[in-house]
Structure formats: structure tokens, C-alpha cells
Structure 1
């Protein structure tokens, strides 16, 4: 069965969705294309995130203020960031709440290739110990306002994800 057969043209019609991509990805990935295909009357905003987590969060907070999305969908690293964008409905897909540890366990130091084309044309980036510490610092702020956003956050977890295992951590807070 073809994917387009599941399209729901009026789903989220007139609404704005902010999509926050995962590690080494971009706003031009397959998930974004699928969201736009399945919900053609929704506006899907999908920026390329800076590698530096403090810059990424600043960009996302500015976009939250200026774009005022109705829904935020984040995947992996992007779901970790999305958790901290309080006050808006959010869907967190396999959130990488412990990204620094995940990268260390999976040979994530050194030069990394982007999985999707980026608007800036960059094809690779460098993961240093300093960058890992920045990820650790940013992720330490996850769940700070979880108590007040209980009805706004939904977690989706794949049972075959071999890298990110944060379901129990998510359940402790939501």
C-alpha cells in the first residue's frame, strides 16, 4: 500500500508544526517530507539546527516566540530539545535525553557526516569532548517544568531502537 493513501489533507489544516530533527540530520529529512505529504494543509517548519546545543536552543526558543507553533515534533536529539520548549503541545519521538552518553558509547567523537543535505551546504562536523559537555549541560535542564506540562507532552518510543533507551526516564517525569 502506498504511503499517500494515508494522507489526511485536513489534519492540522491551518496549523503550524515545528519539527526538530535529530543528531547529524537536517530540516530536509524524510520525516519532514512525510509530514508535509500527509498533512498538506499544515505549515511544517523545520530548521537546520546548529551543532552547538546552546545555539540550537537559542534558535528554537526564538522560533517558538516568533512562529508560535501549534505543535512541536522532535526526534532523538531534537526530542530532547523539544522537551524544554514549554507551553506548547509536543510529541517526543525516541528522545535522546542522555545524548552525550549515547555518543560516547557509540563512537560519536570525532568527525561526523550529516545524514541529510543542509541549507548551509555543510556535509560534516566535529564532535569534541567540549561539545559533549555542552550536550550534558543542556540535557541537565530536561524535565525542569515537566510537572506543569503533563498534559502537553507525549512520548513515542520504538521497540527496535538500539541506541536511545530513555523510556524509563521519560516515565519518571511524565
Structure 2
């Protein structure tokens, strides 16, 4: 199957990152021949970024959206239709968390596709976050939200865990655990963090396949589509 014919997984990067960061490449490598992984490039302006994301979602119709850090907030706030949402150490209160870098000229951690390599976070941008209600978004999308949170997050502490627990911890373990709490990585999703993320995504994808494939004919059709048989 051509890559353009594969189902779409969208990755939304975090603050000071870009579409060319390592996460998209790692996701595409892991889900080679299963998903086409796309990664829109956004910045810290929630209004502008969500508008861009919603336009892309309407066109690409991703079945899974993954977001890390600030990208986790955007994952929860975007118009995601019925996509499964996976957030890793989501920065749920961006105004408070990011204000420490206000008015600083910050360099991006990777080479941006838009050619912009510095960013200045203004009070005007921070104030835009007041327009959004993250707890309502979590509540409304809890049945299709899966969170991976670290207790050793040096940026968020455990505030993200405390916010998510009331909405996710009670949900049944059907596709994957809705709230996975670990202590073997920090804020950035690297090394053990990526292993946990892959496990969660594999569980979700496996359950989707089970739900879709109900007959022998459907199984053979699916195996042909992914190139297992001719």
C-alpha cells in the first residue's frame, strides 16, 4: 500500500520544537506501513495554531492524534472529531507554565520548516489561553483520551496528573489504560518515555483492528492492504 493510502496519525509537537523534530521520525519508523505520520508546524499562539490544526484535521482526518507537552494541550483542544487522543506530559496550563519565558528571545530546539529559528513569547499570546477551558475539553473527550504522565516531570511536577486523574483514572481498560503514570523519564518524552508511548499506541491500534476485522474475508483483505499477502 502506498504511504498516501495509509490511515493518518497526527503528531503535535511541543513548545520550541517543530515539524522536523525527532518524534515524528520515530513514530513514522515504528508504524512503517501502518500509518502515515504527519506533523503540522505550530507555535505558542493558541488561536493561530488551533486554526491551522483544525484545517489540517478536516482534510487529513487522522484516526490518532498524539501530542507532547504544549502539543498535548493542543491535542485536547483541537476539533478532533472521533480520533483517539494520546497526550504525553501535557502542559495543561500553558499561561502559568510558559510565563517564565515571557519576552525572551528563544531558540527552537530543531530546524524549523518555516525557516524561523527564534520565538518571543509575549503577554498578548499568553493571555489568549484564558479563552480556553482545558478541564471541559478533558471531560468531553475522556472516553477517547489516553495520557502518559511522569512523576519526574521537572517542568510540570505532578500538576498534570492531578488534573487528569478525576477524568481518566476511573475509565475501564479496554483499548489501553486511559491514564498511565510512570517515573522513568522527565518532561521530554525520550528513551523509556517513547517505549511507553509505543506500547500505548500499539494497544489502541490493536483494539481498532480487532473491532474492524470480524470475518475471515475482512482479515484477508486487511492482510493484503498492509502487504502481508498478495
What TM-score do the two structures reach when normalised by structure 1? 0.83
Q: Contact between 2:102 and 2:122, CA under 8 Å: does it hold in 1? A: no
User: CA offsets per residue over residues 47-97 of structure 1, 9 Å max, x none?
Assistant: 111442101000111111110001000001010010123431000110101
Q: CA RMSD in A?
A: 1.8
Structure with higher RCO (Cα < 8 A, 6+ apart): 1
Residue 8 of structure 1: aligned partner: none
Structure 1: runs of 5 or more not aligned: 1-12
Question: Which of the pair has more CA radius of gyration?
Answer: 2
Q: Which runs of 5+ in 2 are unaligned?
A: 169-230
Structure 1 position 145, deviation (Å): 4.4
Matched residue pairs, number? Answer: 159
How far is 1:15 from its partner?
Answer: 2.3
1:95 equivalenced with 2:90 (yes/no): yes
Alignment of 1:1-150 (within 5 A): 14-41=6-33, 42-85=35-78, 86=80, 87-104=82-99, 106-137=100-131, 140-150=132-142
Higher share of residues assigned helix: 2
